[in-house]
A and B are shown apart, each in its own frame.
Chain A
Amino acid sequence: AQSVTQLGSHVSVSEGALVLLRCNYSSSVPPYLFWYVQYPNQGLQLLLKYTSAATLVKGINGFEAEFKKSETSFHLTKPSAHMSDAAEYFCAVWTGGFKTIFGAGTRLFVKA
């Protein structure tokens, strides 16, 4: 069975600082991995996805993530935080079939 662990339910950074949101997964087969973002009172939207084509994945709004099989990690980064990045971020894993598993989410706060 697959699972996702997001380290830190809340992360606070200053505007312009590096954003690092951590995600570790467990899967018995090669996974597809995703990061989604949720703004207040909205559904989730896809930031980026890993589909085995390249280990470093670039997404929207300057975010990127690196798939590290040896560490079973898929951490999300952004070099410089912007106030508009404040939101909740979810890591997810899919191994085919009919179920996507989400992590508990990390709420990102950006201080001026």
Chain B
Amino acid sequence: KAGVTQTPRYLIKTRGQQVTLSCSPISGHRSVSWYQQTPGQGLQFLFEYFSETQRNKGNFPGRFSGRQFSNSRSEMNVSTLELGDSALYLCASSLRQDQNTGELFFGEGSRLTVL
């Protein structure tokens, strides 16, 4: 069974630009979560989607948005990039159904550098 796939793995942008990151979950998983990882802040929860609906959201500005498609693939978008948005963005998929233990399966991440 294929794992969680994130694209692109690395990207460089300049301040003010926008970026879109993609995540393909494990087949059969309907939940996709996004996290921002930085050396100073650790793993910060961005949002979680389940069945194409955003079910929970972390404490990030509106520049951070996401969506989920009918095949469970998800994208996140960051507009008007700032230097502080430089981070590793991790996507995780999960079953999130009854009797599920809540285990998350992570992709390798998309490393964004903002210059």
Interface residues of A (CB under 8 A from B): 32, 34, 36, 41-46, 49, 51, 90, 92, 94, 96-105
A32, B99: Cα distance in complex, Å: 12
A103, B37: Cα distance in complex, Å: 12
Which residues of B sit under 8 angstroms from A98, Cβ to Cβ? 31, 33, 48, 50, 55-56, 96
Q: Is A104's CB under 8 angstroms from B31's CB?
A: no
Interface residues of B (CB under 8 A from A): 4, 6, 31, 33, 35, 42-43, 45, 48, 50, 55-56, 90, 92, 96, 101-109
Shortest distance between the CB of B10 and any CB in chain A (Å)? 10
A44, B42: Cα distance in complex, Å: 13
Q: Is B42's CB under 8 angstroms from A104's CB?
A: yes
Shortest distance between the CB of B102 and any CB in chain A (Å)? 4
Q: Is A42's CB under 8 angstroms from B101's CB?
A: no
Which residues of A sit under 8 angstroms from B92, Cβ to Cβ? 43-44, 100
Chain A: CB-nearest residue to B35: A102
Q: Is A97's CB under 8 angstroms from B56's CB?
A: yes
